[in-house]
Structure 1
Amino acid sequence: MTEAEKKKELVSIFFEKGILLNPDVIDTIPNNLDFEMIIEVLSSLRQEDLAVINNELMKAIENKNADFNWDDLARSRVDYEKNRDDKVYNSFVSYIKNSAQVSPPPPKEIANTSQESQSLENSEKLPAAVEEAQKPGISVVSSYQQDSKKRDIQDFVAFFNHRYKALEKLLRNRHEMRGLLSTSRVKMKKDKENVSVIGMVFEKHLTKNGNIMLTVEDPSGTIKVLVNKNKPELYEKASSIVEDEVIGIVGVGAGNIIFSTNIVWPEIPLNRPVKKASDEVYAVFVSDFHVGSDHFLEEEFNKFIDWISAKTGNEEQRRIASKVKYLFIVGDLVDGCGIYPGQEDELVIRDIYKQYEVSAEYLRRIPSNIQIVICPGNHDAMRIAEPQPELYKDFASAVWELPNVTMVSNPAVVNIHSSPGFPGFDVLLYHGYSFDYYVENVEHLRNNGGYKRADLIMKFLLRRRHLAPTHKSTLYIPDAESDPLVISTIPDFFVTGHIHYSIAASYHNVTTICCSCWQEKTPFQEKVGHEPQPARVPIVNLNTRKVKILKFGK
């Protein structure tokens, strides 16, 4: 087939999909174009995704590295041509050009046995780009930096294998797991004897007698685990088990079943020391500003800005404000656009760029000696799948320009206030999107306060050493090299947001803090029964580790 015939065939294929090619595209189609790849991309598109292909869109189809929402691209093109808005479309064009210039990274070699035996706490390497961006008193321990790319089924397989291996290493160190066997070895035994296995929960259900039956899986196969209702303490533990978490099972086994006598989680070690700074310095934690919403609490937020600037409050409150050195913002800086149906009717700022610009104006009023760390949330202008990268520079450029701001991913680990002879504090930031799933699906959490007891949700996740252990609990990126949602670094502080209710507690010397919000109750929250507690600000004295919650609202 000649090149002219190939181009003619390509035009026909586009036309059958209900897509027209601009003449300028036909004239510039190169002779060495990968027709099979383009046809593969077209087959995955819905007919309504694109109507007319111009040069920029053709480059996007050719570009295997680019990863974006075609529907958003097509809408932005319409806005551009009708002179309504050119920012979004120009951002797409810039992204397409930049992606085309970046070749995919070479595959990484699999770590050898000696590398795998290193502790998880020391296994993460900080990208050079992150190291260069360090601010005084701030060190980014881990922040997701991988570029977007196409994923396939094998990525999911590798993702869950990495999770299993990471958590298996932690469980192997537990003294309860002596005599550890693979599930296949247990199934080979003919006589009953004490056994222990480590497995990922494949299935959980109640038997007709009211016992809990688990199916757990390891690299060698699967096996059934029975938890008898006549063992109340063990049964209560098993009732909170969720699918896809990695657990240790101790019991009596032979053949295809283990009768459980104990359940072991990866856990946070009990004997960790409580680190304290030598000087009186404060860290402040906030989240869920929702700038742009017509329910944004501007008056209360201005009171907070005035306090942290030491302009208001009594003498003691101003003294504390003058000693604040760190401010953490744990997601949802803005209310976003198109987050849920009808949201446009609840926005006073409908331009996402303007929402971030207004946010930057507020943050600019905070004293420049206070270091601000920001991670994204589900309302920010980016993908919702976790780990979420740093806030996009094109949308949030006004915030990026602030000299005292450090951007990190969601989740991320940041070390603060280290000094010679003192390791500093590791702060695990996670916006908390998975919380909704566990409040709804784990009876123990639902019946003991639900959204008002974020400390119990955080304890639940710390015990499992994972931020979203169940496949259905959050949207996620199946990274083939690691599971970034594994809690590999044991934090001193575990800080979240999302549920708009502030609470602080401690679990095994990890201070758990859920931040409040700066948005009053919305119609959606009222409909589903949420009771937000806005305008509360947890502050921590790093010298004593005591937490206070300041109230800036009613």
Structure 2
Amino acid sequence: MVAPKQMGEKSNSEKVREAVSLFLRAGYHLDRDAFNFLCTLSRTKDPTEFLIVALRRLKSRGENPPFIGKVALEEIAKEVFPQAEEIRSTAELHMPMSSLHTGKTQKFQSHVKDVDADVKVIEDPTDQIRSTGSIEEYREYFRDRFKKIQRLLRQRMDSRNATSIKDTFRAPRRSRIKFICMVTERRESTHGVSLATEDLETGTTVFIPRNAPLELLAKTKAILPDQVVCVSAIKGRGNLLIVEDIQFPDIPQREPRRAKEAVSAALISDLHVGSREFMKEEFNRFLLWLNGKFGDKKLKEAASLVKYVIIAGDIVDGVGIYPNQIDDLTIQDISKQYRAASEFIEQIPDYMELIIIPGNHDASRKALPQPRLPKEYAELLCESRSVLSLGNPATIKIHGVELLLYHGRSLDDVLATAADMDFHSPERALRLMLKCRHLAPTYGQRTLIAPSNRDFLVIDRVPDIFHTGHVHVMKFGTYRGTIMINSGAWQKQTNFQRNLGLKPTPGIIPIVNLQTHAVLPIDFNA
């Protein structure tokens, strides 16, 4: 395994090599005279910062020649270094912020370089996935889901004494009863809402009148098929059950765990390397920022605290994910996509820990839960640096702070079917998942879930940070002490998203301070 580049002083030749590599990834080539000019420039100026400026100028002029000559670089140098003045920082030219540092570049010093990494894997499904697709496995899957969430409900004071559906049949008329059930169907009429429910033994139907309290009607509206809840009802004639209240398993209100050290994590997802819409220029800015070479004083201070980079899936765009995808790819071989991704990943400083899980575009099985990336693809990423590769979903602890990592494939289903949801506010869906204590509450929609004797998608532990991706919209919020983050993307709007009317917010990255739990969104767009 090859170690990544160090953050210390580099020779001029190393600086030039890095700069040329950046230029090549942007799709430009230097001729011999231009290369010699860059070598001369590197004696007094940072060649990487200069070429970023040059890329910006060339792009703004609409120029895209196969080779960049010395004359073109000299003209840009005269514009950038009038009368041999100091070059401005790349942040001044690219960061869409109102106040930026304009003095000489300060030497970057990481505050966490010597801090020992502290990562504990709490849950990784990779080595526990067993599935043959038998009918019995489907039964066991739903039994396990029901039992796990039933146990969570019984931890609540208002659901502790809940009985079974069978007990409701024996209850006298007008008695108040509670029972835990799975909602299998919802039917609305002019009189109210009927919910078909079942438990491990039998089933029944409950009724919510149209004139029920607004709070109860709101809860009823939020219920998804296959969700496990506790129903409080009054027994009517025969087996009629009139609902008085519905309790979700929900997470408790609590004080979140915090790191003792001042360390931060950069939460990213959905790079989609290999796509025509991959934002390589913006991602390069992110990498420069991690290395302390991009941004004003405040942003470099934030970079100095980053100890962890976590990628929540879709590292590459994949092949054959959707019809005619081949037309949207610049790299049409998935192994080469991972090879290209490794060239970016290797630039993450070696003192930072990189943690990855797969998404639905990655080279892993599509059904949830997903195992970690197969060895032949993971090794392409690990050739350049150490990588902790986990399955999807996964739970980890970093400096005592617990993170639930999930790519977010089921967000499509929740956002499309739940009430008062839309793709521009994914944090609402994350809140509903926490209330349901399940990452994919409804079975059998767009999200593939493999039958198994265990449901890995139950949220049985309460996370301090809930990190997802998939929908390409960066949003975050807090619910009962848990920070919910959907980390956006590094892919511009695709034709598919345009047809759906979805406007992604790529290139905006949330940085979480694990000690204070402050979230700092940084925009790396020009």
Task: State if a TM-score over 0.5 links the two structures.
Answer: yes
3-state SS in 2 of match to 1:151? coil
Please name the residue that 1:436 is paired with. Answer: 412
2:193 matches 1:212: yes
Displacement of 1:178 in angstroms is 5.2
**2:451 counterpart residue number:** 478
Question: Which one scores higher on RCO, CA 8 angstroms, separation ≥ 6?
Answer: 2
Contact 1:369 1:404 in 2 (8 A): no
CA distance in 2, matches of 1:245, 1:190: 28
Give the AA of the match of 1:476: I
- Give the match for residue 239 of structure 2: 256
% identical equivalent positions: 36
CA shift at 1:171, angstroms?
0.8
Q: Which residue of 2 aligns with 1:58?
A: none
Distance 2:179 2:367 in 1: 32
Q: Does 1:266 align with 2:249?
A: yes
Q: CA deviation at 1:147?
A: 4.8
Are 2:207 and 1:235 aligned?
A: no
- Classify the secondary structure of the residue corresponding to 1:455: helix
- Note if 1:379 corresponds to 2:355: no
Q: Could you tell me how far 1:277 is from its partner in structure 2?
A: 2.2
Q: 2: distance between equivalents of 1:179 and 1:382?
A: 43
The match for 2:206 is 225
Counterpart residue type for residue 199 of structure 2: D
TM-aligned CA deviation for residue 179 of structure 1? 4.0
Report the Cα distance in structure 2 between the residues aligned to 1:462 and 1:534, rounded to whole angstroms: 25
The CA distance in 2 between the partners of 1:185 and 1:139, in whole Å, is: 44
**Alignment map for 1:79-118 (pairs within 5 Å):** none
Contact 2:172/2:235 (<8 A) preserved: no
Deviations 1:294-318 (Å, cap 9, x if unpaired)? 1111110100010011111112211
Contact kept? 2:307, 2:352, Cα under 8 Å:
yes
Residue 96 of structure 2 is aligned to residue 139 of structure 1:
no
Q: Indicate whether 1:199 and 2:212 are aligned.
A: no
The one-character-per-residue Cα deviations of 1:149-179 (angstroms, maximum 9, x if unpaired) are 4220000101100110000011112222254
Residues 1:463 and 2:435 are matched in the alignment: yes
Question: Is 2:468 the counterpart of 1:496?
Answer: yes
- What corresponds to 1:398 in structure 2? 380
Counterpart of 1:265, as a letter, is F
3-state SS of 2:302 partner: helix
Letter in 2 for 1:262: D
AA aligned opposite 1:470: T
- 1:314 and 1:395 map into 2 onto residues whose CA distance is 37
Q: For 2:420, what is the secondary structure of its paired residue? A: helix
Aligned pairs for 1:260-339 (under 5 A) are: 260-270=243-253, 272-339=254-321
* Cα deviation, residue 361, structure 1: 1.0
Aligned partners of 2:165 and 2:203: how far apart in 1?
6
Report if the CA contact (8 A) 2:403-2:466 is conserved. yes
The residue identity in structure 2 corresponding to 1:221 is T
Q: TM-score, normalised by structure 1?
A: 0.72
Cα distance, 1:299–1:510 mapped onto 2, change above 3 Å: same
Deviations 1:129-151 (A, max 9, x none): xxxxxx93111110112355422
Deviation, structure 1 residue 397: 1.9
TM-score by length of 2: 0.75
Alpha carbons 1:187, 1:257 under 8 Å: kept: no
Q: In the alignment, what sits opposite 1:513?
A: 485
Q: Offset of 1:488 from its aligned partner? A: 1.1
Paired with 2:204 and 2:356, the residues of 1 have a C-alpha distance of: 44
AA in 2 matched with 1:181: T
Deviations 1:466-515 (A, max 9, x none): 000111242111111x2100001111000000000001110000000100
Q: Which residue of 1 aligns with 2:426?
A: 454
Number of residue pairs matched?
407
Change (3 A) 1:381 1:266: same
1:496-540 Cα shifts (integer Å, max 9, x gaps) = 000000011100000001001111111111111110001010001
Match of 1:354 in 2: 336
Deviates more, 1:176-185 or 1:402-411: 176-185
Q: CA offset at residue 220 of structure 1?
A: 2.3
- Alpha-carbon contact 2:250-2:435 (below 8 Å) kept: yes
Structure 1: runs of 5+ lacking an equivalent: 1-134, 418-423
CA offset at residue 182 of structure 1? 1.2
* AA aligned opposite 1:477: A
Query: Would you say the 8 A contact 1:370–1:404 is kept in 2?
Result: no
SS at match of 1:177: coil
Aligned partner (choices 489, 512, 517) of residue 540 of structure 1: 512
